[in-house]
Amino acid sequence: MKRFSMILGMMCLGLVMSAQTGIINTRNANDASGKILTMEETILSRDLSPENLYCRWTSPQKVMMMKDGRWQEWDLKSDTYSDYSPKAQLPEAYTVGQSLWLKTRDGKEVAVAESENSEITYGQYVSRNEFGINDGFYWSPDSTKLAFYRKDESRVTSFPLLDITTRTGSLKEIKYPMAGMDSENVQLGVYDLASGKTVYVKADEFGYDRYLTNISWTPDASMILIQVLDRSQKHVKLNAYSAETGDFIRTLLTEDNDRYVEPQDPVWFVKGTDDVFIYRTDNRDGYRNLYLCDLQGSVRRLTATDADVAYLSNDGQYVYYTSAEVSPIENHLFRIGIKGLKKGVAKASFGKPQRLTTENGWHDIAMSPDCRHFIDSWSNLTTPRVIDLCTADGKTVRNLLTAEDPTLEHAYSEISLGTVKSADGLYDNYYRLIKPKDFDPSKKYPVIVYVYGGPHSQMVQNSYLGLLRRWEMYMAQRGYLVYVQDNRGTSNRGAAFEKAIHGQCGQAEMADQMVGVRMLMDLPYVDSERIGVHGWSYGGFMTISLITNYPDVFKVGVAGGPVIDWKWYEVMYGERYMDHPERNPEGYARTSLINKAKDLKGKLLICQGAIDPVVLWEHSLSFVRECVKNNIQVDYFPYPCHEHNVIGKDRVHLHDKISMYFEDYL
């Protein structure tokens, strides 16, 4: 990283704020100087935003960090550095093929669970990584037991992917559970290292294709907590099971919602206790907040804020968390005190929440294991990366790094953050607008709307350059206004905002995006006859949705890896947001883009990874087929050996293709 001044306070950052519009601007575009980005520079080289100094606590007093080109460990107490040497963590679990193996402390390799056939997998993630599932096995706190997933895909249909690198071409079959069709069966086994025996948890509720999510161990390793979710994803139970026998012990709490519940986190036990834990949900009070619970079933709200929060850590006295309560586009660290837990959750007392980060912007926090320090890595629209070591009460101990502005050598133009109302008038939707290089308000400029718009996304933040994708600046340097907006359905705004899309994906999102587009069309320097749209995956779905539903507004579109019909998408994600096809046939029909192909008027390019295992080739090919049936012209470019995202040097080709398409037709 390079050097840049750390300045406190929004007005001290050189930002220009309009009280009427709420827009935050970077430096004026006409002051920008330097070279224009090349596509290779945009895609392949190191990102122009300052590199993050990767820091990770290895003990309460030591931080692993990159220094002088190599990984070093900094000792806070002695203020000395030494080369970092990772210590072996034994016993060690690992997978070979579809089987789970274990290396004991004495180096012996043991098969924990061997796959019986190609449809059974042990020790790997399940449910296609939904519900916060990123791992396939979970060690007990004392490392004497290993919990692991068993996935049975025998009822799941297969989809063929074409491998053209073989002499005559070959097919690779993948298991893909589509919405409304049979799904996988998941079980949780518990392997005891001492006895070498495995028991399976008796999680028998909700039938064959229920989900077992967010596996948690009690501190004494006697119980496993599992969030058992039914297939409809409208009912979840947090259940406790015996780690010795797998027997059901009790249900600790339940969640129900007529749209969906979406458990994403394990539970976190309060240090110094064996039975008090922290649980996060947005289903009880409308926002993703923290709740203090115990193994007897007590539940009490801990963070009482109308904003989404994320748990970080606790030391038994304070719970540390980040929150969107200052602003939905900012992330700040808070802590709240807890006392009297020996009297029980109901009688415990909570302190007043304390905000520990003061600088406006987005703060990424790493707490030390003992919660005595934290590393604060933050930035805002005009302040590149700043990394500070702080004490638990928020006082800065040492600045680890303050970066210079790395864009000064490049002709970066003005970036503005602002808000427009959602289509229902209930929310402020945040946007990022980039003006062309050498912007002249007396001229008319074409617009590119870059869109994602789907769940679990936030495209606009008050972080350095507003969370800019460098391709946006590449296009702005070539004479385009580039607009990016979050809409209902995206994250960090509460349950009602996020769940507004349920049963009709694309509808509320399009309505919100069009409020932003209409705002742009009213600006004197926008050429309303030259508006384009581009997005990938859910953004590809949004791109085709917008250009077919508003054919008189959007002249050009480029859609990458687009979902075309939700009945072809996976069970876990598709049925959460669209419900089961048999329960919501009208919603599936309304959102299907097959039905919209006949309405295409503008120029549309579809790019697709030909071996995409996420959004199958069936989607885009079916849309092209429908265009042919209706004598509608559409452009199509497959990337034969790429999956859902085009990566590596071929990504330069992809973005050249996208950019040239706008150059040719917009």
Which positions are annotated as active-site residues? Answer: 537, 612, 644
Report the DSSP beta bridge partners of residue 178: 570
Over the range 83-112, which residues count as b (16 or more CB within 10 Å of their CB) and which as e? Answer: ebeeeeeebebebeebbbbbeeeeeeeeeb
Report the DSSP beta bridge partners of residue 366: 375
Report the DSSP beta bridge partners of residue 69: none
Report the DSSP beta bridge partners of residue 224: 217, 241
Q: Which two tokens stand for residue 584?
A: 């919501």
Query: Quick check: 240 and 250 in contact, CB under 8 A?
Result: yes
Return the H-helix or E-strand segment holding 252. Answer: strand 248-256
CA angle, 472 then 475 then 476, to 5°: 85
CB atoms within 10 A of CB 296: 10
Query: Quick check: 500 and 488 in contact, CB under 8 A?
Result: yes
Give the span between the Cα atoms of 377 and 11, in whole angstroms.
Answer: 21
Give the span between the Cα atoms of 432 and 423, in whole angstroms.
Answer: 18
| Cα of 327 vs its chain's centroid, Å | 19
Give the span between the Cα atoms of 63 and 501, in whole angstroms.
Answer: 43
Give the span between the Cα atoms of 220 and 270, in whole angstroms.
Answer: 13
Give the span between the Cα atoms of 307 and 327, in whole angstroms.
Answer: 9
Return the H-helix or E-strand segment holding 237. Answer: strand 235-242
Measured CA distances, 390 to 60, 174, 369, 572 (Å):
13, 48, 14, 41
Find where tokens 């999680």 sit: 203
Omega prior to 177 cis, within 30 of 0: no
Report the DSSP beta bridge partners of residue 300: 292
Give the span between the Cα atoms of 183 and 213, in whole angstroms.
Answer: 15
Query: Quick check: 580 and 179 in contact, CB under 8 A?
Result: yes
Q: How many CA atoms lie within 13 A of 527 on its CB side?
A: 16
Query: Quick check: 503 and 587 in contact, CB under 8 A?
Result: yes
The two beta strands, 318-323 and 276-281, are unpaired
Q: Which two tokens stand for residue 663?
A: 């150059």
Class of residue 609 by CB neighbours under 10 A (exposed 0-12, middle 13-18, buried 19+): buried
The two beta strands, 80-83 and 70-75, are antiparallel
List all residues 6 or more positions away from 80 whose beta carbon is below 8 Å from its beta carbon. 74
Cα dihedral 586, 588, 593, 596 in deg (nearest 10)? -10
Q: Could you write out the DSSP letters of every residue in 80-111?
A: EEEE--PPP-SSEEEEETTEEEEE-TTS-EEE
Q: Which two tokens stand for residue 108?
A: 């012996």
In the chain the first and final C-alpha atoms are separated, in Å, by 38
CB atoms within 10 A of CB 523: 14
